[in-house]
Amino acid sequence: MATLSDVATRAGVSVSAVSRVLSEKPGVRVSVATRQRIHDAAKELNYRPNFTARALKSSRTHAVGLVVPGVTNAIFAELMRGVEEEAKSKDYMVLIASTERLPEGEESIPRLMGEGRVDGVLVQFGDHLSGDDLRTVTDSGLPVISINTINPGRGGSVRLEDEAGMRLATEHLIELGHTRIGYAGGVPTSESGQRRLAGFLGAMADATLTVEPELVTEFGYYPKQGAQALDAMAELSTPPTAVVVANINAAHGVLSEARRLGIRVPEDMSIVAMHDTWTAEIAWPPLTCVRLPLYELGRAAMASLWDNINSGTAEDRVIADPAPELIVRESTAPPAR
């Protein structure tokens, strides 16, 4: 790899001249002739500035960390796509740090953050990491944006309209005529989970429908936990005729468990889920979903982080555009009689 000084030698000038010319700072005084020679030499040697040296000098790595609960789900994929795209436009790279099966005394996150590897971090904690973990991260002093979890004290979060989304989902079932509606939510410690539950309860209250406690489950956002939620509801003397699932991944679990139990969807039970990923269409029946802008969430998160890195400001943003939208497919229908 050619270095600055290689270019300097070839062009017959000093290193600093080369540096100044190639970095194109306004107001540098270099004659047109040498400028040309430097550009030529750089091109001939295929010069590329060494990233590590730059990072050391400027304490900017042009990289951000993305901490996610896991990489094998479609929600992550959508989010990731947004982050990746925005990062590219800002000339940043994305470093993935997956926290699945986080071992005791995990060191990788503090290391990621403490060693000056990244300029900032995006965290999407799933079910299994708590507010305490979030605090550890935010206390590191690095710019941090938390995705879809509000960050108590230290600002910097990007969220979706979870509550409005769940209202939409619930109202859809109510309009279809369902009155006994179950809820399969995230774990109670999840802040987004609380907002989603509030949306569900709000919509039910507005329709003056009662919600029996046994119909509200909070097992988590993953397929297994969706299955678990359905099991719990199926055991009831009178199961619900419809279920609002707070996460599409859990909804896939609900669907396969329903198949296992011989519950027909939507004939015996309607299902509506939060988030509209491509997997909703390949499921059977295709899932009625509330689409929330995950891609835009990713973009916004990266954009906010960039702002935070460059100006130190950290606001809490809610991504409301595009607004939550109900996508009706084939997993919902009026209650059987």
Contact 268, 240 (CB under 8 A): no
Q: Indicate the residue among 25 and 337 with the shorter CB distance to DNA.
A: 25
Q: Indicate the residue among 35 and 117 with the shorter CB distance to DNA.
A: 35
Q: Indicate the residue among 24 and 321 with the shorter CB distance to DNA.
A: 24
What's the closest the beta carbon of residue 243 comes to DNA, in angstroms?
A: 53
Q: Could you say which residues in the range 29-48 bind DNA, by CB under 7 A?
A: 29-31, 33-35, 47-48
Q: How far apart are CA 58 and CA 46, in angstroms?
A: 23
Q: With CB cut-offs between 5 and 8 Å by kind, which of DNA, a second copy, none does residue 25 bind?
A: DNA
What's the closest the beta carbon of residue 8 comes to DNA, in angstroms?
A: 7
- Torsions phi, psi of 274, nearest 5? -90, 135
CA distances from 330 to 105, 203, 268, 334 (A): 45, 22, 13, 11
User: What mask, x for binding a second copy by CB under 8 A, covers residues 290 to 329?
Assistant: ----------------------------------------
Which is nearest to 69 in space by CA: 104, 101, 93, 103?
101
DSSP 215: G
Q: With CB cut-offs between 5 and 8 Å by kind, which of a second copy, DNA, none does residue 337 bind?
A: none
Q: Determine how β-strand 144-147 pairs with β-strand 288-291.
A: unpaired
Q: Could you say which residues in the range 191-230 bind a second copy, by CB under 8 A?
A: 223
Q: Which residues contact 22 (CB under 8 A, 6 or more apart)?
A: 4, 7, 38, 39, 42, 47, 49
Asked if 237 interacts with a second copy (CB under 8 A), we say no
Q: How far apart are CA 265 and CA 155, in angstroms?
A: 42
Contact 202, 163 (CB under 8 A): yes
Q: Indicate the residue among 33 and 213 with the shorter CB distance to DNA.
A: 33
Chain-centroid distance of CA 311 in Å reads 23
40, 43, 44, 56: residue in contact with DNA (rule CB under 7 A): 56
Residues that bind a second copy (CB under 8 A): 1, 46, 48-53, 55-56, 59, 61, 63, 70-74, 76-78, 80-81, 84, 88, 93-98, 100, 108, 110-112, 114-117, 223, 252, 255-256, 278-279, 281-285
